[in-house]
């Protein structure tokens, strides 16, 4: 297990921090962690324990290095003691690294690598999607948040801020940007292209250009899409959003853009009430937004059918340069905030199929972004099984899924929904 320096490079005057070229060869997964531990409200469903729980599951399934993960997770969960910190500092101090702020952790040979201490997104990066008035207003609100501990930044909505929210949201967006840099660099060096996964919070797909919404502060996937276009010249971006809730913020950001295709599957009638069949984009962007509301109770059968009959033909016709994924795990049957019936196996299928789609259409360039998922067990093990899919290893879903709790899917209503969306989009 080694701690590896990131190599700075430049594209169009933009400093990029990506793994050294020799480390990209053989990598299968590159992931970044931004847990936003200071952005926390007690009993809020978008818990500060989400990312630590994911890291713990990755470690238990022997996908990430135990010495680091155990210390990090213990620290996040409040159980770290001095001896554990001493061990961690000894590990860090024993490594010579030219840049102490940008590291990579390597494990399982070079199959899985973690980007660490990447640069936060800049205000200019955020302003590619959000109004500068909103961005500056949120930054100024941190003084009030530090005095009151928690403030609400969405009017009567559930989105809050603490004193660290602004900076931690920049870090989350920066994780996505850094992963775009990494997968683009890898696509130039290796035929076995790694996939990126941003294990980040706050989530982003509800955040609208003018402000926060639905637990989301900045539109992480939208910011990364604009960055991919601006910095890497990846003109055509295909965004898949399989969160149980409609990604209205991403939808709105690109509603008139013909070069970014936004495709969302979500539970019909769920928050925030947007994402209807007839929301297809407008102006030059007409036809590059596809919304498929799934009937309540839809599960694995539904999503396999949707992938084959809707997602694949849309992506093939669009011919993307990169695929970005708003990966929400709240469609899981155990999740408390909705009533779809995805399973761990469903998410394994999606991870595997999206990875293959990216290989077929855009040189494997693909980055996943954590969105929702509020049952810590189903969230954690679904993501861990997604990592196994990326590695081409068999699913362990049978260890976590309980078929006895599933009920019959609404096949007829699903068929009608698919038929309708295929008609609207001429699929």
pLDDT tens-place string over residues 95-104: 433 333 333 4
Q: 265: buried, middle or exposed (CB in 10 Å: 19+, 13-18, 0-12)?
A: buried
pLDDT tens string 240-297 = 999 999 999 999 999 999 999 999 999 999 999 999 999 999 999 999 999 999 999 9
**What does the alpha-carbon distance between residue 232 and residue 82 come to, in Å, rounded to a whole number?**
44
Q: Classify strands 237-241 and 103-107 as parallel, antiparallel or unpaired.
A: unpaired
Residue 92 is predicted with a pLDDT of: 45
Confidence class of residue 13 from pLDDT cuts 50, 70 and 90? low
Confidence class of residue 12 from pLDDT cuts 50, 70 and 90? low
Please determine, for residue 105, whether its predicted confidence score (pLDDT) is greater than 60: no
Structure tokens that stand for 163 in this block: 């004193």
Residue 305 is predicted with a pLDDT of: 98
% residues pLDDT > 90 (the chain) = 78
CATH code assigned at 289: 3.40.800.20
Q: Classify strands 103-107 and 112-116 as parallel, antiparallel or unpaired.
A: antiparallel
Residue 3 is predicted with a pLDDT of: 31
**What does the alpha-carbon distance between residue 199 and residue 207 come to, in Å, rounded to a whole number?**
18
Q: Taking all residues of the chain, what is their mean pLDDT, rounded to a whole number?
A: 88
Confidence class of residue 79 from pLDDT cuts 50, 70 and 90? very low
**What does the alpha-carbon distance between residue 146 and residue 142 come to, in Å, rounded to a whole number?**
6
Tell me which residue has tokens 């190599």.
7
* First-to-last C-alpha distance (Å) of the chain: 48
- Angle, helices 82-93 vs 66-76, to 10°: value is 130
Instruction: State the catalytic residues.
Output: 206
Residue 117 is predicted with a pLDDT of: 78
**What does the alpha-carbon distance between residue 68 and residue 176 come to, in Å, rounded to a whole number?**
22
Please determine, for residue 341, whether its predicted confidence score (pLDDT) is greater than 80: yes
Confidence class of residue 26 from pLDDT cuts 50, 70 and 90? confident
Q: 313: buried, middle or exposed (CB in 10 Å: 19+, 13-18, 0-12)?
A: middle
- Angle, helices 220-232 vs 165-187, to 10°: value is 40
Average pLDDT of 335-358?
Answer: 97
Please determine, for residue 77, whether its predicted confidence score (pLDDT) is greater than 60: no
Domain count, the chain: 1
Q: Which domain holds residue 281?
A: 3-424
Average pLDDT of 183-202?
Answer: 91
* Higher-pLDDT residue of 333, 24: 333
Residues forming a β-bridge with 18: 7
Confidence class of residue 65 from pLDDT cuts 50, 70 and 90? confident
Confidence class of residue 116 from pLDDT cuts 50, 70 and 90? confident
* Higher-pLDDT residue of 426, 156: 426
């Amino acid at each position: 297990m080694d701690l590896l320096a990131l190599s700075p490079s430049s594209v169009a005057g933009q400093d990029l921090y990506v793994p050294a070229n020799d480390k990209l060869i053989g990598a299968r997964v590159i992931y970044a962690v931004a847990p936003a531990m200071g952005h926390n409200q007690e009993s809020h469903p978008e818990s500060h324990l989400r990312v630590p729980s994911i890291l713990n599951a990755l470690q238990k399934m022997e996908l990430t290095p135990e010495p680091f993960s155990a210390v990090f997770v213990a620290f996040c969960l409040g159980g770290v003691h001095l001896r554990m910190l001493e061990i961690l500092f000894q590990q860090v101090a024993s490594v010579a690294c030219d840049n102490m702020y940008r590291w990579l952790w390597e494990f399982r040979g070079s199959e899985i690598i973690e980007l660490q201490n990447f640069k936060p997104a800049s205000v200019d990066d955020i302003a590619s999607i959000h109004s500068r008035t909103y961005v500056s207003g949120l930054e100024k609100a941190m003084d009030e948040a530090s005095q009151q501990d928690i403030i609400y930044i969405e009017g009567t909505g559930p989105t809050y801020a603490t004193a660290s929210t602004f900076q931690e949201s920049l870090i989350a967006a920066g994780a996505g940007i850094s992963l775009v840099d990494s997968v683009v660099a890898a696509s130039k060096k290796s035929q076995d292209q790694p996939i990126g996964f941003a294990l980040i919070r706050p989530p982003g797909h509800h955040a609208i250009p003018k402000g926060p919404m639905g637990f989301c502060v900045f539109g992480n996937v939208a910011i990364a899409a604009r960055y991919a276009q601006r910095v890497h010249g990846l003109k055509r971006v295909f965004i898949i959003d399989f969160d149980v809730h409609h990604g209205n913020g991403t939808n709105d950001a690109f509603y008139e853009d013909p070069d970014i295709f936004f495709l969302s599957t979500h539970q019909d009638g769920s928050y925030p009430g947007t994402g209807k069949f007839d929301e297809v984009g407008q102006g030059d962007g007409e036809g590059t937004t596809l919304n498929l509301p799934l009937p309540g109770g839809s599960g694995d059968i539904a999503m396999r059918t949707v992938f084959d009959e809707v997602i694949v033909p849309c992506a093939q016709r669009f011919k993307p340069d990169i695929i970005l994924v708003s990966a929400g795990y709240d469609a899981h049957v155990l999740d408390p905030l909705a009533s779809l019936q995805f399973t761990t196996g469903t998410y394994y299928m999606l991870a595997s199929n999206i990875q293959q789609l990216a290989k077929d259409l855009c040189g494997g360039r693909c980055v996943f972004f954590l969105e929702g998922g509020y049952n810590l067990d189903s969230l954690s093990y679904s993501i861990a099984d997604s990592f196994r899919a990326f590695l081409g290893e068999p699913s362990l879903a049978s260890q976590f899924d309980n078929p006895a709790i599933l009920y019959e899917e609404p096949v007829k209503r699903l068929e009608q929904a698919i038929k309708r969306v295929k008609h609207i989009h001429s699929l």
